[in-house]
Amino acid sequence: MKTRIVTARGIVPRADSFVGKSGRAGLVIQAGRVAGLLEGTGAIKRAEAAFGSKAEDLGDVVLLPGLVNAHAHLELSGLAGRVEPGDSFPEWVGQVLKHRFARSQDQLVEDARGGLARLSQTGTVLVGDIDSTGATIQALATLESAPAVVLYREVIDAWDPSRTAVAMDSLTEPISKKSTAVEGYSPHSPYTVSRDLLALVAEQQSRRPGPVAVHWSEMQEEIEWLESGAGPLASILGQSPGCSGLDLLFEANLVGPTTALIHGNLPARGEPERIAAAGATVVHCPGTHRYFDRGDFPLGRYMEAGVSIALGTDSLASNEDLDLLREVRLLLARHPKLAPSRVFKMASEAGARALGFEGKVGCLDVGAAARWLTVRPKPQWGSQIDQGAVFEALFTAE
Ligand SMILES: [Zn+2]
């Protein structure tokens, strides 16, 4: 097997570690994966001799794992700047659907291609994409290099029993083996997916396992309708189930270590603890949060409960960019006391875990994909570098 060795000033294998305290570090790569981490020039020389491979010097840079965008809708990338927040969420959804249906499948594929290219350009190596048109799969087939994609195929029946069985049609066939995308499931949200449809998705998921992504607890209106049948959604949806969205998801057995609960802006008392106990991840999208002017995100409550938090961009119908580092900056602007290593974890390991890629992406441990970002050391660092300084340089770089 051909072995490649690269060297750099330092390597941050994950949010809480640093290799290169002596001023030099190396990465052994076999078949596109990390096969070893080398601390110092002695270890690098020994590895060169052992593998018969001359190290390639990447220069005075520090390597970090590529980023993970845990939530996007790439097929909506052509809607950038076309949709206003509107006076209500249903009004926004109406605009999104109008614009999406006005686009041909070729345009949607082109839009998804643009989205994938923007992710690559901004350091994202894995994305959790919600798909309702197949556009991302088609786009991926035309690209030579792209981020790894978990394709969550979306189902919706709006609690209308006549739509329940039909909604499952899109999930019957697995994703083509020719595609590089990994199959996931996205029952859109407890207020748009009936109890019966959740059960059907869970049944399918137990036959053909894959990660799950659900929009959950984004706004007061959905909670009102779910729990009591009241509020503005009552005129659109049928009979309310009379319980919380999280209850419905637990009842269907859809909350586990590879479940991404998207948004989670308004958790009820005790819900962060239930999510933490199930090992599920809450995905926060700072740009979309700001677009809809959602108020404070309950980050402290989730962190106290031990919930894993990942970051996403959501779509360009509710955000300005698919650049995850911009999301990091927006997050830090609202939560300036967050430790940089904590934030980096949200942008890497936490997303990878939710998407079913723990240890394979979001870190540079042995066994992980050898895909990295680089950061140039700042003059003031001197010989003392640690991961905290590296994260600060990454987050403030334009
Ligand atoms: Zn979304």
The answer to whether residues 78 and 215 belong to one domain is: yes
The answer to whether residues 343 and 386 belong to one domain is: no
The answer to whether residues 310 and 178 belong to one domain is: yes
How far apart are the CA of 96 and the centre of ligand 1, in A?
12
The answer to whether residues 204 and 332 belong to one domain is: yes
Environment of ion ligand 1 (residues, CB < 5 A): 314
- Inform me whether the pLDDT recorded for 62 exceeds 80: yes
The answer to whether residues 27 and 154 belong to one domain is: no
The answer to whether residues 296 and 380 belong to one domain is: no
Q: Which residue range is the domain that position 263 belongs to? A: 67-354
pLDDT score, position 274: 98
pLDDT per residue as tens digits for the range 77-101: 999 888 888 888 888 888 989 998 9
How far apart are the CA of 262 and the centre of ligand 1, in A?
7
Domain count of the fold of the chain: 2
In a domain, residue 181? The reply is: yes
Claim: this prediction has a pTM higher than 0.85: yes
8 Å CB contact between 286 and 236: no
What CATH number is given to the structural domain containing 104?
Answer: 3.20.20.140
How far apart are the CA of 168 and the centre of ligand 1, in A?
20
In a domain, residue 224? The reply is: yes
The answer to whether residues 268 and 372 belong to one domain is: no
How far apart are the CA of 142 and the centre of ligand 1, in A?
25
pLDDT score, position 315: 95
Averaged confidence pLDDT in the chain: 95
The answer to whether residues 283 and 381 belong to one domain is: no
How far apart are the CA of 45 and the centre of ligand 1, in A?
48
How far apart are the CA of 48 and the centre of ligand 1, in A?
47
- Inform me whether the pLDDT recorded for 193 exceeds 80: yes
- Beta strand pairing status for 124-131 and 67-72? parallel
The answer to whether residues 112 and 158 belong to one domain is: yes
The answer to whether residues 377 and 324 belong to one domain is: no
How far apart are the CA of 63 and the centre of ligand 1, in A?
31
DSSP state of 231: S
CB atoms within 10 A of CB 3: 16
The answer to whether residues 196 and 211 belong to one domain is: yes
In a domain, residue 20? The reply is: yes
In a domain, residue 115? The reply is: yes
pLDDT per residue as tens digits for the range 264-303: 999 999 999 999 999 999 999 999 999 999 999 999 999 9
How far apart are the CA of 62 and the centre of ligand 1, in A?
33
In a domain, residue 359? The reply is: no
8 Å CB contact between 248 and 190: yes
8 Å CB contact between 294 and 266: no
Environment class of 36 (CB within 10 Å of its CB; exposed 0-12, middle 13-18, buried 19+): middle
What CATH number is given to the structural domain containing 22?
Answer: 2.30.40.10
In a domain, residue 373? The reply is: yes
How far apart are the CA of 109 and the centre of ligand 1, in A?
18
The answer to whether residues 196 and 293 belong to one domain is: yes
Alpha carbon distances (Å) from 339 to 15, 343, 344, 398 = 11, 6, 9, 20
Which letter, b or e, does each residue of 289-303 get, where b requires 16 or more Cβ atoms within 10 Å of its Cβ?
A: bebbebeebbbeebb
What tokens were used for 303?
Answer: 């962190």
pLDDT bin (cut points 50, 70, 90) of residue 398 is low
- Beta strand pairing status for 259-263 and 281-284? parallel
